[in-house]
Amino acid sequence: MKKIFLLILLPVFLFAQKKETIKLNYPVKDYTGTTKSLEVIDVRQNKKLNDIVFRGKYYSFVFPTDDLSQDIENWFEKTNKKREKGINEIVLLVEDLNISNEVRNKEIFCILDMKFSTFLKKGENYYFLKRYDNIISLNTKEVGGIPDLFVENTQKVLQTLMFETYRATPLDIAIPSNNLSGYNEMLKSNYAAFSGKKLKDGVYLDYKSFFEQKPLENYQLIKNNGEVVRAVNANDDRIPTRKIYSYVERGKVYKNSQAGFLDLEQDQRGYFVMGNKFMLFPEEINVSSAYFLFGAIGGIAAGIEFNIKYNKALNGEKDKIYIDFLNGEYSFVK
């Protein structure tokens, strides 16, 4: 049905097409001076970016030479010409980069789906460094300039990933070169939270300690009217709620969020919470700038509008939102 709807629009937009080039102009200089080379491996089945419909026009997306691997490698070379002291051979694995339209309730959304991972190459083995795996979904009626936003976001995500990669400490798990595409399941099998054993009760301060199943020792939760307010030990050392990543109580996991502690559940794919974007990131709720043109009154109106939208998010439709065990971030990829 979604494809049929878009095909119906095709004759209308056929002669109003615009090409957007992802120019890769942002600097990706390695200020640590440790990188010797960058190799890009593109494992996407479809290496051509799709066209999208946005407000009466078709938009196509390309890289400078239409060769993603070569363009990213050239980008790195351009801003890292002096690498005589570099020793690290970095590999960037392009697992997904796709732009598309999706129709929901007769409204058109533009989707940018990106998944990139980086590794340190040593001999015939690879060692995981960093990953970005997420999706951006924007309503064409509510957000302007989406094609430009997608171009900018693609560059920014790659730039940030490279900066983080230069400074990252590799995981001490060797991935054979002939199994690089299967790295996710291989790494997952090394984390205790995926072992199938009962989870350890206790307090966890970050995603690493949770997935490694290493709770704080000798800390207990303090509750008030059933809600966690802090964790304390025998010396009365206190950890406020805001610093608690998650806790396990009688084998059940609760993940801290801006909406409070949420049940953290598990299926074959991984650990997830039931939620939505605005519930987990209320700061991203859009409030019209017009509200701020009227001083204090505008501020009150904006606050009321925010509360309405936030409460709607809390009570609205919820989906499985997974926690990436390699970086602790929410992944909105369905």
87-103 pLDDT tens trace: 999 999 999 999 999 99
Nearest to 100 by CA among 53, 169, 144, 160: 53
pLDDT at 307: 59
Checking if the pLDDT of 13 tops 50, the result is no
pLDDT at 280: 84
> Of all helices (H) and strands (E), which one includes residue 186?
helix 183-188
Q: Percent of the chain beyond pLDDT 70?
A: 85
Q: What is the C-alpha radius of gyration for the chain, rounded to an integer number of angstroms?
A: 23
In whole numbers, what is the pLDDT of the chain averaged over residues? Answer: 88
Query: Cβ distance 267 to 278 under 8 Å?
Result: no
The alpha helices in 112-179, defined as continuous H runs, are: 146-167
Please state the pTM of the whole predicted model.
0.85
With cut-offs at 50, 70 and 90, classify the pLDDT of residue 147: very high
pLDDT digits (tens, 9 = 90+) for 40-83: 999 999 999 999 999 989 999 999 999 999 999 999 999 999 89
Nearest to 116 by CA among 78, 137, 77, 90: 90
pLDDT digits (tens, 9 = 90+) for 299-317: 444 444 555 565 666 666 7
C-alpha 45: how far from chain center: 21
